[in-house]
Structure 1
Amino acid sequence: MPRPGPRNLITDVPGLTVGSVQDDDVRTGVTVVLCPEGWSAAVDVRGGGPGVRETETLSPENSFSKAHAICLSGGSVFGLGAADGVVSALSVNNVGIRLSPQSPAIPIVPGAVLHDLGNGGDKAWDLEPPYRALGVKAVAAAGQDFPLGAVGAGRGAMAGLIKGGLGSASIDLGGGLVVGALVAANPVGSVYMPDGETFWAWPFEIDGEFGGRFPTGPVSATDPLPQESKLGAAGRLRAGANTTLAVVAVTADLSTAEAKRVAIMAHDGMGRAVRPAHTAFDGDVVFALASGAIALGAGPQRPVEVSRFGSAAADCLARAIARAVYEARAFTES
C-alpha cells in the first residue's frame, strides 16, 4: 500500500530542497524548489491569467529543457524578480550551465507568480520591490524541512474567501519511486464542500493530514460558481487576481515530454481539490521535475509507469492544496 514519505513533503523526493521566506510587512513571500544538478523539467499552464518566467525554455523541442530551481512568488508581475535573486544566489555557488570556461554559471530558474497585491500589506516599495532580495534569502533558507500554511509564496494567498497558503504532500510507490507535490494555493474557487468544513479533497486524505473530516450525508454540487456574489464583492472575480502554483516531482528518469505528461495529469489534482479550477480568473501552473534516479527501461510498461506517476502527482497535489488551507486556518494578521 503506497504511503507518504517520512516528511510528507515534496522533499521526500531525494535531491530536492525547499526554501521559503516572507516579508510580513508587505504580506508576501517566495518559495524556491532547488534541484542544483539540473533535473528534467516541464510545465503546463491552464489558468486564464498566468504570470510566468522561462516556461518556454522547458518546451520539449528546445535544447536545454532542464531546471536548477523553480521559483514561486507572490507579488504578481513584481514577484517575477524573485527568480533574479535565485539565479544570482545559485550562480555564485557554481550552480548552472557554462557555455564557455570564462562565463559565470548560468542557472535555469523558471518561475510563476500569484497576485497578493490587494491584501493590505505595505506595497510602497517605489523602485525597489522586495522580491529579488527574498529570492536570495529563499535559496539560503533551503532545506528538507519547511513550514506549511501562510508562509513563503503562500503568505498573502487566499483560497476563495478564506486564507490560502503553502502546502505539500508525498507518496512512496515502492522500489525507490517517490512522487511529491508543493503548492501555493490562491484559487478563486472553494476548497470546501457546501458544508464549509469538508475538503473536496477528502477522499485522497491519508492519516488525517488535513483534519480527517468526511461527508456525513448527501452532498449537492450543482452550483457551478459557489459564492459568486461574495467573490465579486471581494474583488476576486478579476483576471489574474487568483492562481494555484504547483511543483510536482518524481524520482524516475523521465524525458521532458514524459515530465510534461505528468504535469498535465497533475492538474487534475486542482480539479479534485478546488471548485471551480482553471477559471478565467486564475493563472494555474504546474511544473514537473524528474530526478532520473530510478531507470524505468524502454519496454511497453514505461508509458504505464508514466501514467501512474501522473495520477499519483494529481493525488499529491489535491492533498497539498487541502493541507495548505488547513495549515493556514489558525493564521491571524498581527
Structure 2
Amino acid sequence: MFGNITDVPRVKVGHAENNEGITGCTVILVENGAVCGVDVRGSAPGTRETDALDPMNEIDRVHGICLSGGSAFGLDAATGVMQYLEEQGVGVDAGVTTIPIVPSAVLFDLFIGDPKTRPTAQMGYEAAKSAIVGPFANGNTGAGYGATVGKLAGPQFCMKGGLGSAAIAGKNDLVVGAIVAVNAVGDIKDPNTRQILAGARNPKTGEWLDCCAYLEEHVQSEALSGTNTTIGVIAVNAKLTKAEAKKIAQLTQNALARTIYPVHTMLDGDTVFVLGTGDKTYPVDYLGHLATTVMEEAILVGVKEAERLAEVESYKNIQIKSIEGTGGN
C-alpha cells in the first residue's frame, strides 16, 4: 500500500509542472472507466464536463479527472488528457472515433510565478502519460505546485497550500482514497485541536491573522473573486450509481468544512469528484463517512508537506525553524 489514492484498484495518478509559472496539473486515470459524481459548493468554480455527471444525463462513465492550476486557462490541460487517452483507444465509442470523458476542475495559482505561464494541453498529455500506480510526492506537486491558502486579508498574508493524498481500508476489502489540491481563501486548521496549520499570517511578526476573525472585524474580504478553491477526487473500489457517487461527493464536502475556515465562500470554487471503480456494493453513508475521513487527511497532508516557495511561507518550514530554535518568523 502506498498511502495514496492509487491504493484503490484501477486508479493511476500522474503530474506535470512548469517551474517558470509555478503551476501544474494532476491527472487521475481509471482503467476501463468509472462511474462518477460531482459536488460543487464554492461560488467561483472553474470546471469542465461536470454537467455530464448529473444523474439525469446519459454519460455514466468517465475515463479520467484533471485537476489543474492556471485558473480558467488551466482547463486546456484536460484536452491533452483526452488526446492521450484517445491514442490509447480509451473512451466512448462514437462510431467514427473514441471520445474520452475527462471532467476537470481548476484553481487560481497566478499570484506566484509567471501569471502568463499556465498548464497547457501538452502538460495534461505529459501528466496522463506519466500516470502510475505507486508513491508520489505531496505538497508542491502537480495541481498543488502553486497553491496558497489564507488569502482573506489579501494575498500578501498567504501561506503555501499544496497537493495531498491519502487512503484508508474499510470492511470487506473496501479501499477509499483521496487526492486534493488545497488553495483555499481560508485558513487550514487541525480538526481535532482547531489550531491553524497554514493560513493568513503576518510575515513580519509571524502572528496569525485568523481569517474568520478578520471577516468578523472587517466584514469585507480583501481577496479577489475566483482566486481560490479546493479541488479533489475520492475513489472507492465500490459499485456506485451516478446518484450515489454524487451523494458521496456531497458528504465529502464535510471534510472541507472540518479543516478550512471559512469554506465554500463566494471566493472559492470548491469541487469534489467521486469515482466508483468496483463491483461490490456498500451502504452510501458508510462510504461517505470513510470518504470524509480520508479527504480530511489528504487536506492536512497537502499543507503539511508543502515547501516554502517564492517567499511564501509553509507549515513545514515553520516547524523546521521551531525545531532549530530560530523562531517561526
On whether the aligned pair clears a TM of 0.5, the verdict is yes
Offset at residue 263 of structure 1 (A): 0.3
Residues 9-28 of structure 1 aligned to structure 2 (within 5 Å) = 9-28=4-23
Partner of 1:54: 49
For the pair 1:332 / 2:325, whether they are aligned, the reply is no
Task: Please state whether the residue corresponding to 1:61 is helix, strand or coil.
Answer: coil
Q: Secondary structure at the match of 1:82?
A: helix
8 Å Cα contact 1:269/1:317 also seen in 2: yes
1:239 offset after TM fit, Å?
Answer: 1.6
Q: CA deviation at 1:99?
A: 1.6
Q: For residues 236 and 327 of structure 1, what CA distance do their matches in structure 2 show?
A: 27
Match of 1:156, SS state, is: coil
Show the 5 A alignment for 1:193-232: 199-200=190-191, 225-228=212-215
Code of the aligned partner of 2:172: G
**Structure 1 counterpart of 2:270, one-letter code:** D
Paired residues of 1:70 and 1:110 also in contact (CA < 8 A): yes
Q: Does 1:264 align with 2:250?
A: yes
Matches within 5 A, 1:234-273: 237-273=223-259
Conservation of the 8 A alpha-carbon contact between 1:201 and 1:272? no
Correspondent of 2:130 among 125, 141, 155: 141
User: Cα 1:89–1:326, aligned 2, differ >3 Å: closer, same or farther?
Assistant: same
**Does 2:278 match 1:287?**
no
Opposite residue 261 of structure 2, the aligned amino acid is R
1:310 is aligned, of 285, 288, 302, to 288
Deviations 1:281-301 (A, max 9, x none): 1000000000123x22xxxxx
Tell me how far 1:232 sits from its aligned partner: 10
Partner residue, 1:95? 90
Distance 1:72 1:130, change over 3 A: closer
- Determine if contact 2:25/2:119 at 8 Å carries over to the other structure: no
Q: Which amino acid aligns with 2:177?
A: G
Are 2:109 and 1:116 equivalent residues in the alignment? yes
The separation in 2 between residues aligned to 1:59 and 1:225, in whole angstroms, is: 33
**Equivalent position amino acid for 2:22 in 1:** R
**Number of equivalences:** 289
Q: Quote the residue 1:164 is aligned against.
A: 161
Matched, 1:40 2:31: no
TM-score, scaled to structure 1: 0.81
CA contact (8 A) 1:20 1:146 kept: no
Amino acid at match of 1:244: T
1:87/1:228 Cα in 2 relative to 1: closer, same or farther (>3 Å)? same
Residue by residue over 1:178-212, the C-alpha shift from the partner in whole angstroms, topping out at 9 and shown as x without a partner, is 111100000011113xxxxxx23669xxxxxx9xx
Residues 216-245 of structure 1, C-alpha deviations (whole Å, 9 max, x = no match): xxxxxxx77144499999x86222110000
Q: CA deviation at 1:275?
A: 1.1
Deviation at 1:71, TM superposition (A): 0.3
Question: Could you list the runs of 5+ residues in structure 1 that have no partner in the other structure?
Answer: 1-5, 193-198, 204-209, 211-222, 297-301
**Aligned counterpart, 2:316:** none
2:13 and 2:238 map into 1 onto residues whose CA distance is 20
Q: Deviations over 1:297-333 (max 9, x none)?
A: xxxxx5xx211111111111111010000000x3334
Contact 2:68/2:107, CA 8 A, preserved across alignment: yes
Q: Are the aligned partners of 1:164 and 1:325 in contact in 2 as well (CA < 8 Å)?
A: yes
SS at structure 2 position matched to 1:252: coil
Q: Supply the distance in 2 between the matched residues of 1:181 and 1:231 (Cα, whole angstroms).
A: 35
Deviation at 1:80, TM superposition (A): 0.4
8 A contact 1:42–1:65 mirrored in 2:
no
Quote the offset at 1:146 in angstroms. Answer: 1.7
How far off its partner does 1:104 sit?
2.5
SS in structure 2 of the partner of residue 292 of structure 1:
coil
Q: Distance in 1 between matches of 2:103 and 2:70?
A: 16
Q: Deviations over 1:81-124 (max 9, x none)?
A: 00000000110111111121xx23210000000001121x2234
Residue identity (%): 42
**Structure-2 residue corresponding to 1:215:** none
Contact 2:24/2:119 (8 A) holds in 1: no
Q: Distance in 1 between matches of 2:65 and 2:218?
A: 30
Tell whether 2:141 aligns with 1:151. yes
The RMSD of aligned alpha carbons is 2.3
Q: 1:130 to 1:9 in 2, by over 3 A?
A: closer
